[in-house]
Chain A
Amino acid sequence: MKAISLFKEICCIKPKFIMPTSPHKLLSLLGGICFSLPALAGTIKGKVSDAKTHEPVVGAIVEAENGNAKYKTLVNLDGGFVFRDLPEGSYGIRIKYIGYKTSEEFKVVLKNVKATETIGNIELKDDVRELNSVNVTGGNIHSDSYVRGMEKNADMVQNILSEKAIQLLPDVTVANALQRVSGVTIQRDNSGEGRYAIIRGMAQRYNNTLVNGVKIPSPDDKYRFVPMDLFPSDMLERLEVIKALTPGMEGDAIGGTMNLVMKSAPDHFLFNANVAGGYSTLFSNRPFSAFDHGGMGKSSPAEIRGNNYTATAADFSLDQFHYSDKSAPVNSTAGLTIGDRFFNKKLGVIVAGSYQNFFRGSNTQTIIPSANTNIVPVPTALLITDVLDRRYSTQTNRIALHNKIDYVFNDRNRISLYNFYVHQNEYQTRYTNDTTFGTNSSAVQKSVDVEFRSRWQVQDIYNATLHGEHQLSRNVKFDWSGVYSIAKSKVPDMSTYDFNSNVHFDGHGNASGADSSTYGMSVGHTWQRNSDRDWAGYANIAYKPSIFGQEVALQGGGLYRYKTRDNYYNDYSLKPFYGTTQVFHTIDTLSLAFNPTQNGSGSVSALTANNYTAHEKITAGYVQAKFMLLPLLQVLGGVRVENTQQDYTTVMPAEFSGRSGTIHYTDVLPSVHLKYLLRTNQNIRLSYFKSISRPGFGEIDPYSVPGEQFTEIGNPHLKHVRADNIDLRYELFPGGADQLLLGGFYKQLQNPIEYFVINRGGPSNLNIQAQNTDKATNFGFEAVYTRYIGKFGISANYTYTHSEVTTPKTTKYYDKVLTQTQTGTTTQTRPLQGQANHVGNASLLYKNPKIGLDMQVAFSYTGDRIMQVSAWYGLDIWQKPYTQLDFSLEKSLSKHFYFYTKVNNLTNSAARLYIKVDPTVLDNFITQGLPNQKAGSNVVNMQKEIVYLSFLGGFKYKL
């Protein structure tokens, strides 16, 4: 792999500029100036392309030898090379490049220094001997232009990021890399790190994640969707986002399927290593707060001593409440990939390891809306309860191992064994200054709860796939996979304590003193863990008969997956053991107890519906056919049937309704994909597919877990979501990695799942619960444009999405007839949660193969979107448009050594949330001293999260 590789095989389409077709005109206009300089003297020009794909081989070494002198240059982005100012003479030109056979010698004679000689196009052949079936057909699989070919030739609508593109991105995790894909928005965690992908406005629940085409389970405690930041991006061969499903694919994706294609064994010895260090500038402003996790019990007292044991304060450690500051912690990453083929290239092995250790964090100011509303100054007026100042310090320590062994028996039979393992430790300190706004605070005195939380989470994912491919006869092919996967998460002894501080003000906004007390204090210890274990088998058979001289591709197959899920949850809350409020000194000197004492018993804390075992059996089968209906119209159509059988059993006794349940359903999922070959480099696609989304077990199980604002509860009667999807796309592939894609989509969802705030058992028991709404629609269009000219390239995509869902909302108003306050109900139409109308990405690339320099500036934009749906009319929490600017650079230092750097968030972008309100409501808040507001505005700023700039720099060694 060359540092310069992103631009490898990128061709200039100069010769095509004169072509009259309008898309080309458009493209050349968009592309701007074409860099061409008049030839000065003694010039030899030429072009180099791949013999199979006819795509340029950018970065290939061109040698010109005239007996006593040797000159070298590299193939440019546009696929061309040029030697300038060569002395007169006779030259032998050869082209060399890794992965290709060295070209034959071309003879060129320069008669004088003003002469310009042009060699035509030189085609390079793959350096693979006799093993065509081993060879991953055609060209360099790591490159952008290769994946452009895949996009072009694919049967369905998809977008792909190549390995080279991913490596050059400023992103070290797959989650962050995903935001560079058209129509993808990322959901960030509280350190500003991307975690989940929203595809075309469809939230993470509507998308699925595959590794090498195999569905993997999630370590999440409630949902199926996989945290994409678990995957280091340097292990990927390519990242596919498939937006229209074919019958052969699993049907549970409405937004799209993310397929992580991991590196496969190379056809020659491969050795890559990289090491880098970095730093987040957040910790120049404040130290990183670390805690000692040694005391955190692996198991809860109830697990150790049984549920009948009544724990006391002595059963819990306080060590994790001792914090220490780390100034300027250094981030580090290291990666190693070794691969080769043995035994006459029959056995291929690749092993890759990746280590990442990051110190991240954020400073967040959050305003918490009340669970209730007011009737003045307007009906259903926002009320605010708290202003939180939060500081997160998160250390993420991630090890990923990946290994693929493939064995080629002959050109008809091959098997492979794939192993993937990720292990992640996350140590997070959350420090919160929670100032009560309203009830217990005034201008002269504020009630502040000071809270510390220490959280250690261990997540693991392991996947093993044994895969075989067999060419049974000339036109019958069979493949199969046996899969074992496990995803686990453990949060042992998450520990929280808070104390109250009554801060006094002098009337001029200055704090004049504070009293710390045990008022309202509690100390929490929570154990949570879950695991998802999958056994699955896949089989497909393809038959390509020739009918009337035309090949028809028939395919059928199925899968069976048996999933077992276990969940454990145990939540202890200790209180200070005094009859009257005491002065608070330190957590160590406090007398703590369970009150009532029974709360220390596992039979109160651990015997909850959050402890359950669930199973899911998916049986699916499909048939599909692909044929040319008309000479230029390809049809791929078929149907998939998926049967879902689920059951869960909680540890609850017979008196508990919902203690167990079974759910089953069968979906018939037809799809048809039409591809019209407008020209050799242009397609028009039209597709319809039906797909589903299954609720997570954590949503079905009647669990109950305290959340940030509301207690979250499960809903055993939650239905799965079904959707009809239509896609239309125009594609232009002028050559190389250039592309123009214009498309539209329309989706209609039945029973979409949204979160509702419901009232159960009194006002202090406000719960948030997943429920089905009747239906939702989601439509939009997207444009992708990539263009390379000389040493520059631009890549941009934009997606417009409009979604609509109508849900019930609560109102509060003064009833003139009853002459009193009333709570009412109405409906409100709004976009789906998380969906932004406008999503865009743009990156500017610069590549200079001569000096071995690659640079990229990447910009991403996400428009307004709803982050949290409120139970109240008009009080949904929105995110302001978010922009981020990142930079990356790679420079070769010697033949095998490269320096690289990635800089994130150059502009210190902050994520901001707001609620739209009547200006009089805001005025009231400003009068009461609500911070961070702008008078006269019609929004209340609810959150500002700053993560600051971070950077990483290091070295790569590639052989």
Chain B
Amino acid sequence: MRKIFIPAIMILTVLVFMTGCKKWADDQADIYEFKPAPGQAVSDAAPLCGSIKGVMLSGKTYTIGCDVYVNGGDTLLIEPGVTINVTNNAGIAVRGILVSLGTKANPVTMTVPGLLKDNTPGLAYAADSAHSSNRLWKGIACDTSCPMLVLKWTHIEFAGSSYGKTFGPAVQQKSTTSFNLLFQNPNGAFIMEDSWIWGGTDDCIRVSNGRIHIFRNTFEKCGGTGGDIVNVKGGTTGTMAYNFFIGSAYNGQKASNKGQPIGAPQTNVVMYNSTFVNGGRGVVPGQRGSTTNFEEGARGAFYNNVAVNCRVGYRVVNNPAADTANLSYGNNYQYADSLVIANNFFTSGTVCTRPQPTDLPNPASYLPANFDYTNPKYDGTPVVQKLNPMFVNYPLPSPYSPWGLTSIGTYNFHIQPGSPLVGKGYTGVHPLVTVPLASVYGASEVTPPGVDLGCFQVNGSGNQH
């Protein structure tokens, strides 16, 4: 007779379960979380590995034997004259602060021991250790929390290895990413002054977002079969000036507002007085730029730049359009050895670069009266090999195959006093300073726009290399 209660008991049980057991159903997840070891003070006694912090002392040589991490809250300070030898394709991941304080007299060098710079013009890509060595290191990658990266008078050589299985995820990147320098904190400051980068396999400097100050640097053999040199994305503000680029795969300097994070500013970059030589070796006209690019919602300015034998001209992209209402430019110079280059001073593709009367050569001297700057069509013959910039030591027309020379070597790209670049600069452009000015944790000098075009000023100011 008890059986009569079974259904009733069951219904009751159901009700009890319905109300009482919600907690059981919560997902109890125990997911492995990596806790980095506390940073160890650096020493030159043994190869460095894992979490490091402290001061690399002046004049000493340190070896990095596997990936090193500067933890959040820690600082790695590199004194003048330090040499860092990186082995085993290692890299430096920065969650805290890294400051490299080279000086003109005692620069800091980060390199791969045993790899030698080869300046042979026309060197095959596959034979060029700057791109194709299997010993490249990963460079410096800042994660999304890194507040500051400062590089002054620092050589960064032979970076460009892929980040790999642990280093990539540690800095929120794929394992196949291979930037020489990476910065990705919209509230952080990335300061790079008077430094040199040699070699690479993709974008040389990728700034996903951040406050930037990139002044008076020299870039040689950067990029792989593709890649920009300084490529900044949505949420980046600051200034790039007095930089020298040679043999870039795509652009030297590029600004885009693509991927602007919530709460981050619109990309706003002021560029002036940079020199681009043999840029765009991996570019097809109509696709990508070779000198400067403003695209997809980026605002700012670009003035006083010099482009010599670059694949295509200065590029303001029309779709997705740069913030053209808030973009100003002028006083930009171009030189072409060949007609194919001169015909791309104003290049095809979705562009809207307006010729400016202050540009050199004077657009009126070769562009048709009804020039449609969104679909450029003109004959560049009048400007081929015109307005030789008069470099101190570099023959023009170039004796090498187009884009055959990707490093400076023994050449000297300073300008002679009679150069047509002299005195053509516009000094009214205002640098956009978004980083602190300080001898250690900040920028040393905001060099104002120069009176001469390009990065080397006749009066000795500008790029100091």
Chain A residues proximal to chain B, CB less than 8 Å: 310, 370-372, 374-375, 383, 436-445, 447, 500, 502, 515, 517-521, 545, 547-548, 552, 554, 573, 575-581, 591, 593, 595-599, 603-605, 607-609, 623-625, 627, 635, 637-639, 641, 652-668, 670, 672, 690, 692, 704, 711, 716-717, 719-720, 722, 759-766, 810, 812, 818, 820-825, 928
Secondary structure of the A side of the interface? strand
Q: Which positions 228-263 of chain B face chain A at CB distance < 8 Å?
A: 233-234, 256-263
Q: A760 to chain B: which residues have CB within 8 Å?
A: 172
Closest-CB distance, A13 to chain B (whole angstroms): 37
Q: A704 to chain B: which residues have CB within 8 Å?
A: 174
From A599, A822, A825, B162 is in contact (CB under 8 Å) with A599
Say whether B262 contacts A824, CB under 8 Å. Answer: yes
Say whether B299 contacts A597, CB under 8 Å. Answer: no
Say whether A371 contacts B259, CB under 8 Å. Answer: yes
Say whether A762 contacts B206, CB under 8 Å. Answer: yes
Total residues of chain B contacting the partner, CB 8 A: 101
Say whether B349 contacts A765, CB under 8 Å. Answer: no
Say whether A668 contacts B351, CB under 8 Å. Answer: no
11 contacts across the A-B interface (CB closer than 8 A): A372-B297, A439-B295, A519-B284, A577-B126, A579-B128, A593-B126, A604-B176, A665-B25, A716-B31, A821-B323, A928-B319
From A552, A722, A821, B7 is in contact (CB under 8 Å) with A552
Say whether B26 contacts A659, CB under 8 Å. Answer: no
From B164, B265, B299, A598 is in contact (CB under 8 Å) with B164
- Which stretch of B12-20, B108-116, B355-363 is in the interface? B12-20
Secondary structure of the B side of the interface? loop
- Which stretch of B99-107, B130-138, B428-436 is in the interface? B130-138
Q: A581 to chain B: which residues have CB within 8 Å?
A: 225, 281-284
What is the bound-complex CA distance between A692 and B296, given in angstroms? 44
Say whether B144 contacts A761, CB under 8 Å. Answer: yes
Say whether B165 contacts A370, CB under 8 Å. Answer: no
Say whether B350 contacts A372, CB under 8 Å. Answer: no
Task: Check A625/B6 contact, CB under 8 A, given A500-B284, A579-B131, A639-B14.
Answer: yes
Say whether B257 contacts A595, CB under 8 Å. Answer: no
Task: Check A440/B128 contact, CB under 8 A, given A654-B34, A761-B208.
Answer: no
What is the bound-complex CA distance between A197 and B206, given in angstroms? 44
Say whether B284 contacts A374, CB under 8 Å. Answer: no
From A445, A625, A657, B32 is in contact (CB under 8 Å) with A657
Q: A660 to chain B: which residues have CB within 8 Å?
A: 31-32
Report which residue of A372, A552, A654, A690 has the largest number of chain B beta carbons within 10 angstroms of its beta carbon. Answer: A372
Say whether A442 contacts B172, CB under 8 Å. Answer: no
Task: Check A596/B161 contact, CB under 8 A, given A668-B24, A761-B184.
Answer: yes
Q: B128 to chain A: which residues have CB within 8 Å?
A: 579
From B28, B173, B402, A665 is in contact (CB under 8 Å) with B28
Report which residue of A661, A666, A670, A717 has the largest number of chain B beta carbons within 10 angstroms of its beta carbon. Answer: A670
Task: Check A596/B136 contact, CB under 8 A, given A375-B297, A444-B348, A502-B287.
Answer: yes
B45 close to A (CB within 8 Å): no
Closest-CB distance, B82 to chain A (whole angstroms): 25
Q: How many A-B residue pairs have CB under 8 A?
A: 294
B403 close to A (CB within 8 Å): yes
Q: B403 to chain A: which residues have CB within 8 Å?
A: 579-580
Say whether A656 contacts B262, CB under 8 Å. Answer: no
Q: A444 to chain B: which residues have CB within 8 Å?
A: 348, 375, 377
Say whether B351 contacts A666, CB under 8 Å. Answer: no
B369 close to A (CB within 8 Å): no
Q: A627 to chain B: which residues have CB within 8 Å?
A: 7
Say whether B260 contacts A821, CB under 8 Å. Answer: yes
What is the bound-complex CA distance between A711 and B233, given in angstroms? 19
Closest-CB distance, A798 to chain B (whole angstroms): 33
Chain B residues proximal to chain A, CB less than 8 Å: 3-4, 6-7, 10-11, 13-15, 17-18, 21, 24-34, 36, 89, 124-126, 128, 131-134, 136, 144, 160-162, 164-166, 169-176, 178, 184, 201, 206, 208-209, 224-226, 233-234, 256-266, 268, 281-288, 295-297, 299, 317-321, 323, 326, 348-351, 374-375, 377, 402-403, 406
Say whether B286 contacts A440, CB under 8 Å. Answer: yes
What is the bound-complex CA distance between A823 and B224, given in angstroms? 32
Report which residue of A500, A502, A604 has the largest number of chain B beta carbons within 10 angstroms of its beta carbon. Answer: A604
Closest-CB distance, B392 to chain A (whole angstroms): 26
Say whether A554 contacts B6, CB under 8 Å. Answer: yes
Say whether B26 contacts A665, CB under 8 Å. Answer: yes
Q: B286 to chain A: which residues have CB within 8 Å?
A: 440-442, 445, 447, 502
What is the bound-complex CA distance between A655 and B165, given in angstroms? 9
Say whether B31 contacts A372, CB under 8 Å. Answer: no
What is the bound-complex CA distance between A578 and B33, given in angstroms? 42
Task: Check A659/B32 contact, CB under 8 A, given A581-B284, A598-B134, A603-B165.
Answer: yes
Closest-CB distance, B326 to chain A (whole angstroms): 8
From A439, A517, A597, A662, B349 is in contact (CB under 8 Å) with A439
When C-beta atoms are compared, the residue in chain A nearest to B249 turns out to be: A579
Q: A759 to chain B: which residues have CB within 8 Å?
A: 259, 261
Say whether B266 contacts A821, CB under 8 Å. Answer: yes
What is the bound-complex CA distance between A868 and B258, given in angstroms? 21
Q: B34 to chain A: which residues have CB within 8 Å?
A: 654-657, 659
Say whether B162 contacts A637, CB under 8 Å. Answer: no
Say whether A658 contacts B32, CB under 8 Å. Answer: yes
What is the bound-complex CA distance between A667 and B321, given in angstroms? 53
When C-beta atoms are compared, the residue in chain A nearest to B223 turns out to be: A579
What is the bound-complex CA distance between A521 and B128, given in angstroms? 20
Closest-CB distance, A6 to chain B (whole angstroms): 41
10 A-B pairs closest in CB distance: A763-B259, A762-B208, A579-B125, A761-B172, A661-B31, A438-B319, A820-B266, A666-B24, A670-B14, A440-B287
From B164, B172, B259, A766 is in contact (CB under 8 Å) with B259
Q: B349 to chain A: which residues have CB within 8 Å?
A: 439-442, 445, 447
What is the bound-complex CA distance between A518 and B257, given in angstroms? 28
Say whether B234 contacts A820, CB under 8 Å. Answer: no
Say whether B281 contacts A580, CB under 8 Å. Answer: yes
When C-beta atoms are compared, the residue in chain B nearest to A704 turns out to be: B174
Closest-CB distance, A359 to chain B (whole angstroms): 36
Q: B234 to chain A: which residues have CB within 8 Å?
A: 372, 763, 823
Q: B89 to chain A: which residues have CB within 8 Å?
A: 598
Task: Check A442/B259 contact, CB under 8 A, given A577-B126, A607-B165, A625-B7.
Answer: no
Say whether A638 contacts B173, CB under 8 Å. Answer: no
Say whether B165 contacts A637, CB under 8 Å. Answer: no
From B206, B209, B262, A825 is in contact (CB under 8 Å) with B262
Report which residue of B134, B283, B284, B297 has the largest number of chain A beta carbons within 10 angstroms of its beta carbon. Answer: B284
Say whether B24 contacts A667, CB under 8 Å. Answer: yes
What is the bound-complex CA distance between A690 and B21, given in angstroms? 13
Say whether A656 contacts B169, CB under 8 Å. Answer: yes
Using A657-B31, A823-B234 as known contacts, list a sample of 6 further A-B pairs with CB atoms less than 8 Å apart, ordered by residue number in A: A442-B286, A547-B3, A658-B32, A664-B27, A761-B172, A763-B259
What is the bound-complex CA distance between A623 and B144, given in angstroms? 53
Report which residue of B165, B208, B320, B403 has the largest number of chain A beta carbons within 10 angstroms of its beta carbon. Answer: B165
When C-beta atoms are compared, the residue in chain B nearest to A819 turns out to be: B326
Task: Check A604/B162 contact, CB under 8 A, given A763-B234, A821-B297.
Answer: yes
Q: B351 to chain A: which residues have CB within 8 Å?
A: 442
Q: B296 to chain A: which residues have CB within 8 Å?
A: 372
Closest-CB distance, A634 to chain B (whole angstroms): 12
What is the bound-complex CA distance between A437 and B233, given in angstroms? 20
Closest-CB distance, A287 to chain B (whole angstroms): 31
From B14, B348, B406, A445 is in contact (CB under 8 Å) with B348
Closest-CB distance, A379 to chain B (whole angstroms): 13
Say whether A577 contacts B268, CB under 8 Å. Answer: no
Say whether B281 contacts A579, CB under 8 Å. Answer: yes
Say whether B171 contacts A761, CB under 8 Å. Answer: yes
Say whether B320 contacts A439, CB under 8 Å. Answer: yes
What is the bound-complex CA distance between A64 and B13, given in angstroms? 63
Q: A545 to chain B: which residues have CB within 8 Å?
A: 3
